[in-house]
Structure formats: structure tokens, C-alpha cells
Structure 1
Amino acid sequence: MGNPARRVAIYVRISRDRTGANVGVERQERECREVAERTGWSEIVEVYVDNDLSAYSGKPRPAYRRMVADVAADRIDTVLCWHTDRLHRSPIELEEWISVCEPRNVDVHTVKAGPIDLATPAGRMVARQLGAVARYESEHRSERVTAGMLEVAQKGWFRGGARPFGFEADGMTIRTSEASLIKSGSRAILDGKSLRSVVMAWNKAGAVTAVAGQLWSIKTTSDVLTRARNAGLIERRGVVIGPAAWPAIVNETEWRGVVAILRDPGRRTNYSSTKARWLGSNLYRCGVCGGRLTVSTAGSAGGKSYRCKDAASAAGGRHVSRDAPQLDQFVEEVLITKLSLPDAIEVFQPEKPVINAQEITDKLATISAERDELGKKLGRGEITLTMLNAANDGYAKRERELQDALTKAATINPVHEIIGAQDVRSHWEGLDLHRRRAILETVLIVTVMPAPRGQLRGGTYFDPDSIRIEPAPA
């Protein structure tokens, strides 16, 4: 094995490089080169480095795979590493390594365990025993770490790591300036505002992410607002397992409502978008096809009109169009009148049913577990694919109902701020367009019906009778 003519490769790997300084792999390479020098191997053909990658995790190790390919291509005679557990801890991977090295008389030499001759049964037995021991140690260490983390989680302690936004570095003390943003952001989502509007508000306030110190994006903002930590809860692998030791920033019902809204896979485009410029854009409906109306420029004078987005696809029928300022003014007058009625509170702000958020969450978890069990039954041949699909359809319907219940329990009715005001009209005029649109969407369905062309009696072109107004469903 001490043949100086042998072509030697060095393989180094470290599972975790917390500093990014490559100190671990550099130490391994240095000790491997010392062994090569003592042994008389002068030809180091290449050093293969996998930094911050575990041999046990199953993640691809690019340098290792490249080295295996080079061994198979007869470019290497000896592989030198710090210990066999640097090469592999998976029995399957070890057997692949043996199948490549044995027919080519490639041996392995380690700094800590000495030479391992894979060309002999005894050498292969040693390699397998060392691999089994390494796997046991890794699994046992993983068990200890997992048990420790689970104990910390069950007791509600902070598990350490990067500072969470909204809290100090200890993970337990609230940072008031950031917590106020989480509160206002959660309120905004429950109020029907867009997530993008929250992102813009946080960036305008000069807030940055806790870890990277960057401006907020849709993803990072959503991640923060949907954390169980916000409600004083601790979760493990996405499942809430109990109360945390740190204080809550928002209550549990509010948090679960935010989660239900932001994680709803069928979440529609927010018609109350901050980009809207007109009261009824994407809210008013076409009386011909039921499609939404948007505002565009009409005629040489450059006036603005609501038009059906689907007018281009009309089959024989003419879709609707209305003067935008006149239609908005008419709808605003109807809204103000209805919101000023003595029974407006009973009509537009009914009491919400009391909902147990934890009970709903537990039911959702049960559905998830039952779905997993059905998948296992399908794999064992106990049920058919048709039976699985039928059951999943039922589960999906029940999940939607439960998520809707959570959302309704936490979402604030946008009319709460205007109903009961001494002067509804003055209050309405003080609202921004976003709030007006949210109220309109909650209170009314406005449908624009076809109307005769030309002027009406009195010289106007706008016909109020062609506007159908109905109460929005509760």
C-alpha cells in the first residue's frame, strides 16, 4: 500500500461549518497530507471537498459523487481521508463504494483508522463494521438532539438561534417597536387589506428583517405574520404543541385568522388592492355576463368609463358601459343612505358566533392524520385509489369549512368604523379609497344592467334604474 507511484486523492468533509471559514476541512486536509508525506505518496491528484454537508442527511455531496466517478474512470488508486465516517455512513452508499473500488484494486487509507483494503474480504468486513458503528453514533446523536429539542419545545422555551422579529435576542422579551408592526400588520390582514400593503407600510416605517437586515418582501412578511410565536404558542414541524414561555403579541384567534387568510390556497386577488383608483373597479358586475367591470378611457374627450372585461368575448350581445364618476357618485349615495338607517348595525354588523379556535385546529390536524393513514392503506392494498379520492374530496370540503370558520371568526367587519357614527356622510368622506372599497364589498352587490342609448329626459345619459343594487351575502 506504500507504493509511491500510486495516484492518491484526498477527501475531506465537515457536517456543519458554522463560521464559513472552512477550518474543519482545512485541518482534515493538513493531517491527510502529513500521512501521505510519511507514507511516500507524492502524487496527490486532487483534493475533494464537501463543506457543511452531512454524509448521513441524504443530501447530495457533489465532490464525493465526482470522486466516485473518477475512481470508476481509473483516475485514482488510493483515497485518503481523515476517518471512514467522512466518506459514508449509509450502508447502501458503502456497498456502492465497495463495488466501485474492489474490481479496480482501489484502497482507502484513513488518518484515524489506518488502511482499509477493500480488495480482501477482511478489509471489506472492517469497512462494513466501521460503517455500522458510524451510523449508530449518528442515529444516537440525532436521538439525543431531537429529545433535547422536544423537551425544550414542550416546556415552551426559546430554542436559540437567530433573533426573531418582534423579540429581543433572548427570544423571550418583546421588542415593542417591532411588535407594534406585527399587531398592525395582523389587524390589516384581518381587516381585508392586502399583504402587499403591509409590506409597503413596514418598509416605509424603516423596519428591516431581524436576521439579514433587509427590506421586507411578500414572503418574509407572510412568514412573520403566520408564526405561532406571535400568539405565544410553540410549534414543532408546523404543528402547535402548546403554550410558549414568551408573551403573546396578538391573541390566538387573531393569529389563526391571519394564518387562515394568508395560507388559503384558493385566496383570490384582493379586489381592495392598493393599486385601485376607482370605487367599483373589479367590484361592480356586468348585467350581461356577470363579469367584473374595470375603468378605462372612453372617447376622444378622455372620459373614464366602467366597462366589462369580457366584452371582447361577447357572443352577439353588447356588454355594459357606464360613466365612472357618475356611477361611483350614485353608489356612494346609496351606501351612505343605507349605513345611516336606524337598523344598520343589526343589518350590516351582526354578532359573530363564538368559535373555539383550538378545537378547529385540532380537527384540521385530525383530518391531516387521517389522510396520511389513508395513503398508507392504499400502499398496503387495503383500499383502492377510487376510495382514496372519494375520501379526500370529503376531507377537502371539511377543511374548507373549518378554514372559513376560522377566517370569519377573526376577520373584522370593515363597516364597524362607520356604523353608529353621528354623521355617516362626514365619516365616509374622511375614509381613504381602500376603506371605502372594503365597506362596499361587504355591504352591496352592484350590477350594471344594459340601458337604452342616447339622452334620457332631462338631458342626462345616466339611468339610475339600470343599476341593480342588492345586499351582499353575510
Structure 2
Amino acid sequence: MTKSQKAVIYARISDDREGEGLGIERQETDCRALAERLGFEVIAVYADNDIGASDKTNKTREQYNRMLEDARKGRFSFILAYSNSRLTRRVREYLDLIDLYREHKVEIRTVVSGDHNLATADGRAVALTLATWDAAEAERISERIKRKNLQRAMSGEPAIQHRRRFGFEADAINHRPDEAQAIRNAVADIISGASITSIIKKWEAEGILTTDGKASWGWAPVKRVLFGWKTAGVRSLNEEPLYDASGKLVMGNWEPIITLEERSAGLAMMERRSRRGVKEGKWLLSDLLRCGVCGGKLYGQRLDQHERSSYSCNSGKTANHLAINAKRLEDHVSREVFEYLSALTFRGFTEQSLEPKTWAREQELEEISERISELMDAHASKILTSEVVFPQIQKLEDQRNELRRERRDFHANNAQPKTHMEAVWTSALPLATSNSLFEDQQIAIRAEVETVIIAKATRGYASRTDEAFLKRIEIVWKQPHYEVERLTDEEWASLMVNENTPPETKEQLWKLFTLEET
């Protein structure tokens, strides 16, 4: 068979929502039928699935480019496509196809768009005219889709994505219970002082999978899952929140997984951690310890091959200000937090008694948004000129942004961590069980402790006693911190016989509670 009878098929579909490539298969079937009628031999099929061909797409059509390279190598003489628009919707790409004919004599045949003789000026003009109309139609389709998407978004309808959003079912409305609960727990942990990295470690240890079945998580995807606008029930478009005419957020018609206050508190806590430069490590009290001499940070360090360790201040000019045994300190702080949380639970502190405060300037924020909307309406109605309106709007927007930052910080400072809001007792357990995740232990401590100040040790043998050791430690608790009496032996024993507490947990907790200070 001569070279002139060799042909290839190019098939493309812009939007394959089912992900099954059925549109590609139908195009190939019709093109093979065309090849049979024309007496061509199909030697290859190039297919780009779920990729647009207009200027509106940023995706690269790898198979299309490969086909052009093979054409320039003289491997075939005809390109078969279902229609011109399947081949390209870009005028400049049609110019490349014309050059392909001029230089390599590669012709185009279509199933439904007819044939254009690229050897003649009229044929090329017709082809370019059709390409121009295809490009215009692509833009019109894009405009219609944008208007439709905006209309749906402003009414609160969810965006149906190809990949299911973590926490939601495929309908983008109903929650997937186990994933939604994982999100709530993680956001509560972030508010309590945890990091995204610790959440990743926890999820991967617990076997929580991504929506495409992967066992590993990335930092950015986890942050998007936890604090994306959809998670808080806000309708967004192109990852930006939508506001109605009065300046209020457009809420979606689905139940949010977390509240806007929780979202603000979590993001504020992350920003606070970033400003402090908190880093993950294997030191339980990392970033919590301060030197009682200079106020500097204490850092953990290994002392010898026996894995003895200490926290020490390295701020002294000639020597360290002080050091303290790491294990004894960690055991003491863990015990203090655990006993406090246990007593808090036993004494009956409930979610209602610990309900966070409301921000006092919410009405002021709403009034500023309404004022901005009124000025925009006055400008649209030509009552006020741009010179009058926009300087005022700029000032109001600056005020609104400042109030939003103030509200975010307020919610961060007053948000109740999971230890209060859900189950204080459950959050105390990581400090008692030996097989708890390191990150869970850190979260439990950081939810309650602001900092721990370590004083310099006294000289002599007396400094080695337990009493002297404890006098060096001052725990500064996060506020609000409720004064509660610690459990007596009798109360602790009654807590241990709770029928819902597993036997192995009872034993571990009892050992911790009755263990004498070392």
C-alpha cells in the first residue's frame, strides 16, 4: 500500500464526566468507517480525553502534538477527525495545519464537517473561516457556562466536581460521616495548637484515604480539606468566596462540616504558629518551655548513648543558663494536664458551661458591608460619581478588613478546643496510654498549656529532691482555665469502674494516677 493511503485518526472530547472515554470510542468508530469508504489504511489513533481545544484551556494536548510530530516525519498523508472542532478550535492551530499541508502534503478529512482543499486559496479561506466560527462558538459556550455557573453559585447550589470532595458524597451535598468527623476532629486539634503536619501523620497512621484512594496526604490538600470554603458551608467560585448584594457571604444549600468561627479560629492559630516559627519534632514540650533567667526558649538535646536527655537554655554568653531532665519534666507536665482534664470531666464541666463568647462588633461589620452596597447602588444609578464613591468605598473596605481580622483573632482566642467542646476525658487518654500517637499527646498538652517556665536549680544535694525539682516548674495555663479540685482516691476509683472504659485503659490510667513522682 502506498504512503498516500496511510491515515491516522484524531479524537478528542472536552468534558468526560464519566471518565470512561465513550465519546472517544464513538468518534473513532465513525472515523474508521470514513477510512473504509475512502480506501485508507488507519495506522494509528491519537486521542486526547477530557481536554478542550480552545484558547480557554491551559491543558496540553499531548497526543495532538505527537500526531503533528509524526506527520512531519512523513509517516502518513491523511488526518481523519469527526469534525473540525474535534481537531482544533484555535485559528492559529489551523494555520499550523495549513503549513503542514504545504510542507508535508498532509490532508484533513472529517466525518461531518466536509473536506477543504488546502492546496487552493479558496479552500484555505473556507477552512480558516470555519475555524474562526469554531473559536467564536467556543467563547460563546464559555460565556454561557460562566453565566450559568455564577447563577447556580449565587443561589447556593454546590459545584459538582469530577473528583468527590473529601467529607462529602458525590452529590456535593450530603456528608460522608466518617470523613466529616475526621475533619471536625482535625480542625479542633488545629485550634488546640496542632499543625497540618501532625494531622497528616495522624490520618496516615489511622489509614484515612484520599478520595482517589491514596494513603498519603500532602500539606496543601489537607489544608484545603479542613479550611476550604465549602467545608464551612460557603459557596465559592474559582476558590474565592461569593458575596451577595449586601456584602454577606453566600451560603451553600448544604450543611457545613465546621462553622465559620471554627474556620477563622483554625486559620488564625495556624498563622500564629507560623509567626512563632513552631516546628515539628520529637520533643513533647517543644516551643512550650521558657528559661526563668532570660525568658529564652529551651531546646531538647540527647546527652549520651543511654538516651538520657534534657531541655536546656542556650542563651548564655559563656554557658547554658540552665537545664532540666527531659523525661521527668515531660512526665510531670503530662500528669498535671491529665489530672486537670480528668477532674474537669468528673466535676461536670459541660459544653454549655464552657460556651465561647460572641464577638461584640458583628453588627458594626454588617453595617459597613451595607454601606458599601449602598454606595455601589448609588454609583450604578448615577446618583454619585466615581470620584465621590470609590474613595469612600476604599476607606470602608479597609475598615471592614480590619474588623474581619479582629473577628478572626477573637474566635481564635475564645474557641474551645476539642478537649472542652467534645470529650475532655477522651482527650486526656493520650497522656495516659503508652501506645498513643506522639502528635495526640502534644495536642492534649498544647490545648491547655500556654508555656512552662523553668527556674534555675539550687546548688547542693537538696536540689535533687522531688520537692526541689517541682519548685523549678511553673505551668502557665491557657485561658480560660477553670479551677477545679483534683480527684480523690475514692473519686478516681469510681471513675475507673465506668463500664464504658476498656479494662486495659483502666489499668493504664490507674498506674499513671497512683505512680509516685520520680
Aligned counterparts of 2:473 and 2:124: Cα–Cα separation in 1: 84
Q: Which residue in 1 is equivalent to 2:502?
A: none
Q: Which residue in 1 is equivalent to 2:265?
A: 257
Aligned counterparts of 2:97 and 2:205: Cα–Cα separation in 1: 56
Q: Which residue in 2 is equivalent to 1:37?
A: 36
Instruction: Report the identity percentage.
Output: 27
Aligned counterparts of 2:419 and 2:78: Cα–Cα separation in 1: 77
Gaps (5+ residues) in structure 1? 340-348, 367-394
Select which of 360, 368, 371 maps to 1:354. Answer: 360
Deviation at 1:131, TM superposition (A): 0.6
Deviation at 1:129, TM superposition (A): 0.9
Aligned counterparts of 1:99 and 1:261: Cα–Cα separation in 2: 59
Aligned counterparts of 1:267 and 1:405: Cα–Cα separation in 2: 19
Aligned counterparts of 1:204 and 1:468: Cα–Cα separation in 2: 33
2:38 equivalent to 1:47: no
Instruction: Render the CA deviation track for 1:273-302: whole Å, top value 9, x for unaligned.
Output: 69544xx44322457887643444446876
Deviation at 1:236, TM superposition (A): 1.1
Aligned counterparts of 2:77 and 2:99: Cα–Cα separation in 1: 15
Deviation at 1:156, TM superposition (A): 0.9
Aligned counterparts of 1:466 and 1:400: Cα–Cα separation in 2: 43
The range that moved more, 233-242 or 187-196, is: 187-196
Judged with a 3 Å threshold, the aligned counterparts in structure 2 of structure 1 residues 230 and 105 are, in CA distance, closer, same or farther, namely: closer
Aligned counterparts of 2:3 and 2:444: Cα–Cα separation in 1: 84
Aligned counterparts of 2:136 and 2:418: Cα–Cα separation in 1: 62
2:161 equivalent to 1:155: no
Judged with a 3 Å threshold, the aligned counterparts in structure 2 of structure 1 residues 289 and 122 are, in CA distance, closer, same or farther, namely: farther
Within a 5 Å distance, the mapping from 1:413-428 to structure 2 comes to none
Within a 5 Å distance, the mapping from 1:330-409 to structure 2 comes to 354=360, 356=362, 359=365, 403=405, 406-409=408-411
Deviation at 1:184, TM superposition (A): 3.2
Gaps (5+ residues) in structure 2? 243-249, 342-354, 373-396, 434-439, 480-518
Instruction: Render the CA deviation track for 1:230-256: whole Å, top value 9, x for unaligned.
Output: 333211112222022223343322223
Contact 1:32 1:82 in 2 (8 A): yes
Q: Which residue in 1 is equivalent to 2:287?
A: 282
Q: Which residue in 2 is equivalent to 1:446?
A: 453
Code of the aligned partner of 1:228: W
The range that moved more, 68-77 or 123-132, is: 68-77
Code of the aligned partner of 2:84: T
Judged with a 3 Å threshold, the aligned counterparts in structure 2 of structure 1 residues 48 and 177 are, in CA distance, closer, same or farther, namely: closer
SS in 1 for 2:4: coil
Contact 2:359 2:407 in 1 (8 A): no
Code of the aligned partner of 2:288: L
Instruction: Tell me the TM-score normalised to structure 2 length.
Output: 0.62
Code of the aligned partner of 1:24: G
Judged with a 3 Å threshold, the aligned counterparts in structure 2 of structure 1 residues 48 and 171 are, in CA distance, closer, same or farther, namely: closer
Within a 5 Å distance, the mapping from 1:3-402 to structure 2 comes to 5-42=4-41, 44-56=42-54, 57-161=57-161, 164-167=165-168, 170-174=171-175, 178-195=179-196, 198=199, 211-212=211-212, 217=217, 219=219, 220-241=221-242, 242-261=250-269, 266=274, 276-277=283-284, 280-285=285-290, 292-298=297-303, 303-308=308-313, 316-318=318-320, 320-324=322-326, 354=360, 356=362, 359=365
SS in 2 for 1:115: coil
Deviation at 1:182, TM superposition (A): 3.6
The range that moved more, 4-13 or 149-158, is: 4-13
Judged with a 3 Å threshold, the aligned counterparts in structure 2 of structure 1 residues 268 and 122 are, in CA distance, closer, same or farther, namely: farther
Judged with a 3 Å threshold, the aligned counterparts in structure 2 of structure 1 residues 329 and 189 are, in CA distance, closer, same or farther, namely: closer
- RMSD across aligned C-alpha pairs, in angstroms? 5.0
Instruction: Render the CA deviation track for 1:414-448: whole Å, top value 9, x for unaligned.
Output: 69969xx9xxxx99x98995366326642x45256
Deviation at 1:15, TM superposition (A): 2.0
**How many residues are paired up?**
413
Deviation at 1:267, TM superposition (A): 6.4
Judged with a 3 Å threshold, the aligned counterparts in structure 2 of structure 1 residues 404 and 144 are, in CA distance, closer, same or farther, namely: same
Q: Which residue in 2 is equivalent to 1:392?
A: none
Q: Which residue in 1 is equivalent to 2:460?
A: 455
Deviation at 1:111, TM superposition (A): 1.8
SS in 2 for 1:116: coil
Deviation at 1:18, TM superposition (A): 3.6
SS in 1 for 2:97: helix
Deviation at 1:39, TM superposition (A): 2.5
Deviation at 1:21, TM superposition (A): 3.9
Contact 2:191 2:417 in 1 (8 A): no
Q: Which residue in 2 is equivalent to 1:369?
A: none
